[in-house]
Amino acid sequence: MAKKDQPQVEQHPQKQGEGWLMSQEQQLICCFRNALPSAHAKWIEVETRPLHGGGQPVVRRMLRHNAIEAWERMLKARWVRCQPHW
């Protein structure tokens, strides 16, 4: 099966660790990290904070395939990969 014909989750093998995105436009930074999987699904914890400190972080859990879609959508919206910030 060609890679483009595979389900999106299979095109993106699960990695250990974290992924970071930053938006200068919105002054936000976002961390995607693996959360503990349940018996039925793999979860990703997504934490968003203001770029220059202050304010409360927004933490949410997403199913892995939804997190992949969010990551790709954010990259298209001019978010850029960055180094860990916390």
* Number of domains present in the structure of the chain: 1
On whether residue 13 sits in a domain, the answer given is: no
Structural domain of 36: 26-86
On whether residue 76 sits in a domain, the answer given is: yes
Element (H, E) at 25: none
Whether the per-residue pLDDT at 55 is higher than 70: the answer is yes
29's CB contacts (< 8 A; 6+ apart) are 20, 21, 22, 23, 48, 49, 50, 51, 82, 85
How far apart are alpha carbons 67 and 55 in whole angstroms?
A: 23
- Model confidence pLDDT, tens digit, residues 1-48: 555 665 554 555 656 789 999 999 999 999 999 998 888 889 999 999
Global pTM reads: 0.79
On whether residue 31 sits in a domain, the answer given is: yes
10 Å Cβ neighbour count for 25?
Answer: 9
On whether residue 5 sits in a domain, the answer given is: no
On whether residue 9 sits in a domain, the answer given is: no
